Amino acid sequence: MLSPEQFAGFLAAAVLITLSPGPDNLMVLSLGIAKGRARGIAFGLGCALGCLNHTILAVIGVSALIAASPAAFTALKVAGGLYLIWMGWQAIRSRGGAKVGAAGAGADETPGKLFVKGLVANSINPKVVLFFLSFLPQFVVASRGDANWQTAALGVTFTLQAALLFGMLGYFSGAIGQWLNRTPTAGMWLDRVAGAIFIGLGLRLIVSR
């Protein structure tokens, strides 16, 4: 089981990272604005459920490294920490605010097809695989027992909160999209907050034992 502190800390970081402007949530907003709530919600839910594939890969990867060598697992955590710091620095340096426009190719597809499209696109994205391998292990507490179970629970938590937030983005896409377009600095500040979180998590991961 995850401790309340472990769960709360992970959930807070996951929510802020999910809300940080990126291709997935901006596509959800664009589809919702241009083609209606159903299509925006469908694509967002597909993207969110694609995280389950990365959770499985993270569980397998962490399990294999722990079985092979504790030193190898430590190396993964250090590498993951450096990767998160790099992602954070890139986000902080970002000077462009999020802009939501009309959805492009694929906007006329049915909600079912867009759900599958989001699911497949996220499931095979190597950047998301690397992110999960970097992000999930640092919230695993060795003293609490089975690391595989903790990693799986964290991955499912990330998936569920992403599904909820992407669903809400799709449902309220019109109002949210207009607000972002009226306030271009909002996306930039969301990036900076997320960047600071990435750097903090990366440093924590590197210094943790």
Q: Six-digit token pair at 140? A: 């695993």
Distances (CA, A) of 187 to 31, 72, 112, 176: 18, 37, 29, 11
Q: Six-digit token pair at 127? A: 């950047």
- In angstroms, the CA 159 to CA 55 distance is 9
Q: Six-digit token pair at 136? A: 């999930």
Reported confidence tier of residue 160, pLDDT bands at 50, 70, 90 = very high
- pLDDT above 60 (res 209): no
Task: Give the global pTM.
Answer: 0.76
User: What's the half-sphere exposure (Cβ side, CA atoms, 13 Å) at 174?
Assistant: 5
- At 103 the pLDDT is 57
pLDDT tens per residue, range 57-93? 888 876 666 666 777 767 767 877 787 788 788 877 8
Mean pLDDT along residues 149-172: 92
- In angstroms, the CA 179 to CA 196 distance is 23
Please give the DSSP secondary-structure letter assigned to residue 142: G
- At 168 the pLDDT is 92
8 A C-beta contact, residue 186 and residue 97: yes
8 A C-beta contact, residue 43 and residue 169: no
Mean pLDDT along residues 135-162: 86
Amino acid sitting at position 102: A
Amino acid sitting at position 205: L
Mean pLDDT along residues 121-150: 79
End-to-end CA distance of the chain: 21
Helical H runs in the chain?
Answer: 4-19, 23-35, 37-49, 51-68, 70-93, 111-123, 126-135, 147-171, 173-182, 184-207
Residues in contact with 135: Cβ distance below 8 Å, sequence separation at least 6, in sequence order: 17, 80, 84, 201
8 A C-beta contact, residue 154 and residue 61: no
Give Cα 139 distance to the centre of its chain: 15
